[in-house]
Amino acid sequence: MNSVRISLVTGSDETNEKLSAIMSSEGYSVIGTHVSGGDALRMVRAHVPELIMINYTLPDMTGRELASIICADNICPVIMLVSSSERVYCEDLVDEMNVVLVEKPMSRIQILSAIDITLQQAKLIRNLESKISKLSDSLESRKFIERAKSMLIVANPESTEEEIYNAMRTASMNQRMPIKRIAELVIEGKMDLGVLTAMA
Amino acid sequence: MLQKTFGDTPREGLVIMANYTKQEIIDLVKDNDVRFIRLQFTDMFGVLKNVAIPSSQLDRVLNSGCMFDGSSIDGFARIEESDMHLMPDLNTFVIFPWRPQQGRVARIICDVYKTDGKPFDGCPRNILKKVLKDAADMGYTLNVGPEAEFFLFVTDADGAPTTITHDEGGYFDMAPVDRGEDCRRDIVLTLENMGFEIEASHHEVAQGQHEIDFKYDDALTTADNIMTFKLVVKTIAQKHGLYATFMPKPIFGINGSGMHANQSLSKGGVNAFFDPSDELELSKDAYAYIAGLMENVKSIAAVTNPLVNSYKRLVPGYEAPVYIAWSGKNRSPLIRIPAARGAGTRVELRCPDPSCNPYLAIALMLAAGLKGIKENLTPPPAVNKNIFAMSADERAAEGIESLPGSLMEAVEEMKANPLVREVLGDHVFDLYTTEKENEWNKYRLTVHQWELDNYLAKF
């Protein structure tokens, strides 16, 4: 059973009810059904769902506008229900914001597969984002360490690169301070090899 | 210093106001993939207008301005002299932090010029600049710090604004009672990205009412900032499914929205309102400025409080000022002197509301204060008791007058004072007063719901 929290914004109570019944029967938890985009925006910001299904046509705004706001503010993944003629207005959202388009009329199977695909895709993107963030941090640290290392090599020509790196790493471990911070202190001129060795 | 960096998200590191050259703006537009530039200006009634140009036209516009038809804008030109020029003020270039997914949009605030290259008399920004020059000729610069309040209302199913407040919170309340917190935080972050220094933001007294205070600045920058502030508040509220309104009194029976204006003059970089040797540590200039404001406030009210609705805020019982008096202590009078002294010495005029045209309102407040200084006026003694608790006779005995009771009274006061015509110029003065009289007449002739509720069944 799934307990993924989903919100629905379709412009009609009847459609909301039908979709809600399909999702609930599959074990999804429908935490909000909204007719208008404004109502949906007020609620999704308070009760952040894990997925939102939006109809292209809404009484107060287009589903495109609503999807753009939700995606730009990174609230949750979006599935958009479109007619064949509306699809063309939303295709850029697929490329730029990973919105999943489902063309109407749609079957129960199509709805459930769209939910599966969107959730899997969102999970994949989250993992990739987390990896990118870690890699960026590590690249950033590497830049500082290399700069600090080269400054220390110039100041201490008698020491090898390995000795200098080891001194920085050991100081970092002993002082419980990220090696990037040690490197920053070296660059700022607040720490030299003598201090590092003493700390190590 | 230029801050050209953009972060990974639209909220990080946007462009801060600076002294830009044309080439720097062109580079910023190119580097940040800006597709459109909105050339903004303000009409006579404080409504923000804009013309959007694609970035390909920027070079041309920065060099020679942009022509537009002024006859279609309220309070602008007549049909026979309708061609106007928008001349960008480069220092106001800002990239909007929202909607990055569709190509960025930037704005530049413009001054309006006539085709012969002279400043247009109907441009509120030019009017303010003229008064600021008068002040500069006397050796003064004006700093203004506004405190604008607004309501967040929910929209109905069709997206139209209602008067249903977003929460039931009160003054300084916290979440979860204050449901506007999320939206307000988003507004503050957006403003910070646009170079605003936000001093405080909090829930106000009435349900659904909020206040965001940004740091004082020179008068022209503050007037620009007020216009930007209103745009940002409305834009971000919309992204939260809410409608932000600066209407002064949207709901009967609860506090209305004001825009208290903290103002101080400086001379040679030193606060001209501070004098440590005085009993209240206020200078002669400060007293004269207060006297000038008090003498002219009734005649500038039609600008600082420009709507029929403004006068439904200026009634006793809701912390809004009604009586013309000043005090160094209590908060009931029209003019308050906040406790800060030294560089922070300032005068707070409490009647303006956020529906005013900030350029014209600031121009008139400054002109009134300067008149006080020029004529060496002395204010009446400070009133340190609660004026709302005084009887009409007690007020009369102390010579305490009231602000105009309606827009029509305010317009009559405005027409009776030559200072206002002198500051606004004939063009704006005549159009403004005519338009406000029309507004009053439409209101007067309309049959309101209150009349139906009270009379229809009874008579």
Q: How far is CA A190 from CA A146, A185, A187, B108, in A?
A: 17, 5, 8, 44
Contacts of B329 (CB under 8 A, 6+ apart): B382, B384
Contacts of B251 (CB under 8 A, 6+ apart): B151, B163, B165, B206
Q: How confident is the model at residue B77 (pLDDT cuts 50, 70, 90)?
A: low
Residue type at position A26:
E
- pLDDT per residue over B407-423, tens digit each? 999 999 999 999 999 99
Q: How confident is the model at residue B72 (pLDDT cuts 50, 70, 90)?
A: confident
Percent of the residues in chain B that have a pLDDT greater than 90, as a whole number: 71
Question: What global pTM score does this model have?
Answer: 0.86
List of E strands, B129-174: 140-155, 161-165
Q: What pLDDT sits at residue A28?
A: 94
Q: What pLDDT sits at residue A50?
A: 95
User: Taking the alpha carbons of A29, A32, A36, A40 in that order, is the dihedral positive or negative?
Assistant: negative
Structure tokens of A2? 């799934």
For residue B265, list its beta bridge partners: B142
Contacts of B145 (CB under 8 A, 6+ apart): B213, B214, B215, B216, B217, B222, B261, B262, B263, B346
Average pLDDT for residues B317-334, to the nearest whole number? 85
Whether residues B241 and A41 touch (CB distance < 8 A) is answered with yes
Q: Which residues in chain B have Cβ-Cβ distances shorter than 8 Å to A41? A: 239-241
Question: How close does chain B come to A70, measured CA to CA in Å?
Answer: 9
Whether residues B239 and A61 touch (CB distance < 8 A) is answered with no
- pLDDT per residue over B309-322, tens digit each? 999 999 988 888 99
- pLDDT per residue over B86-113, tens digit each? 999 999 999 998 865 567 899 999 999 9
- pLDDT per residue over B139-186, tens digit each? 999 999 999 999 999 999 888 999 988 877 667 666 555 567 889 999
Virtual torsion, Cα B222, B228, B230, B231, nearest 10 deg:
170
Q: What pLDDT sits at residue B452?
A: 97
Q: What pLDDT sits at residue B314?
A: 94
Q: Which residues in chain B have Cβ-Cβ distances shorter than 8 Å to A90? A: none
> Looking at this predicted complex, what is its ipTM?
0.72
- pLDDT per residue over B275-305, tens digit each? 999 999 999 999 999 999 999 999 999 999 9
Across chain B, mean pLDDT equals 89
Q: For strand B140-155 and strand B217-218, is the pairing parallel, antiparallel, or unpaired?
A: antiparallel
Give the nearest partner residue to B242 out of A42, A71, A96, using CB atoms.
A42
Q: Report how far residue B76's alpha carbon sits from residue B228's, in angstroms, rounded to the nearest whole number.
A: 21
Q: Report how far residue B148's alpha carbon sits from residue B335's, in angstroms, rounded to the nearest whole number.
A: 16
Q: How confident is the model at residue B1 (pLDDT cuts 50, 70, 90)?
A: very low
Q: Which residues in chain A have Cβ-Cβ distances shorter than 8 Å to B175? A: none
Whether residues B154 and A38 touch (CB distance < 8 A) is answered with yes
- pLDDT per residue over A72-129, tens digit each? 889 999 999 999 999 998 988 898 889 999 999 999 999 999 999 999 999 999 999 9
Q: Is B393 a catalytic residue?
A: no
Q: How far is CA B347 from CA B271, B289, B291, B326, in A?
A: 12, 9, 11, 10
- pLDDT per residue over B49-69, tens digit each? 989 999 999 999 998 888 888
Percent of the residues in chain B that have a pLDDT greater than 70, as a whole number: 91
Q: What pLDDT sits at residue A192?
A: 81
Give the nearest partner residue to A59 out of B154, B158, B182, using CB atoms.
B158
Structure tokens of A155? 């100041």
Q: What pLDDT sits at residue B5?
A: 30
Query: Which of B35, B99, B153, B158 has the most A C-beta neighbours within 10 Å, making it the best mutation to test the interface with A?
Result: B158
Q: How confident is the model at residue A189 (pLDDT cuts 50, 70, 90)?
A: confident
